[in-house]
Amino acid sequence: MQHTRMLIPRGWIRTATLLLVVALLAACAGVQNDAPAAAPESAREPVTVKLGVGFIPNVQFAPFYVGIEKGFYADEGIALELEYGFENDYLKLVGVDELQFMVGSGDQLVLGRAQGLPVRYIMNWYTRYPVVIFAKEEQQLSQPAGLRGKKVGIPGPFGASYVALRGILE
């Protein structure tokens, strides 16, 4: 039996992801409305939600940038603040309740749980492992063994890039 794969346009996936994130943030933020019941929706103060994301602002966080720019979060009463830093630092902050949410990799979650941090995965961000290795064509690299002795750039000895590189080289 041959399996076929259903293709879904990327725009739909991004939109669905953004809506899911908005719904999760709204549900988990613990919104408490102290305004009288007769107050109009627009009179509510937005709930500030801080989200830890990777150290360098880049395209992988586009759903958040678009959502902020287009007012999707504001429409739901959320003032989303993106904080840039390192996954391992943010995981600890989430674990001690100093940060509400973070975008992180599964390997960091496993390490955090092993250290006793009460953190959990609430949403899958990628459907495939998001790490790739690329080089200039003149390097003529076609196998992982060709990386031995070469300089490979990663953000640091942590996160998905580090775990993937270790896995490829070992």
Segment 134-159, tens digit of pLDDT: 888 998 888 888 888 888 888 788 77
> Is 7 a residue whose pLDDT tops 50?
no
Residues 68 and 152 in one domain: no
User: What is the tally of structural domains in the chain?
Assistant: 2
State the chain's mean pLDDT as an integer.
78
pTM comes to 0.57
The pLDDT, as a whole number, for residue 17 is 55
**Token pair listed for 167:** 């896995």
Residues 94 and 19 in one domain: yes
The pLDDT, as a whole number, for residue 36 is 53
Nearby residues of 74 by Cβ (< 8 Å), 6 or more positions away: 46
Tell me the pLDDT band of 101, cut-offs 50, 70 and 90.
very high
Residues 158 and 87 in one domain: no
Contact 72, 18 (CB under 8 A): yes
CATH assignment of the domain containing 81: 3.40.190
Range of the domain at 103: 11-27+42-114
Residues 17 and 94 in one domain: yes
- The Cα 157–Cα 139 span in angstroms is 24
Residues 109 and 143 in one domain: no
Residues 94 and 144 in one domain: no
Tell me the pLDDT band of 160, cut-offs 50, 70 and 90.
confident
Residue where one domain finishes, among candidates 83, 114, 145: 114
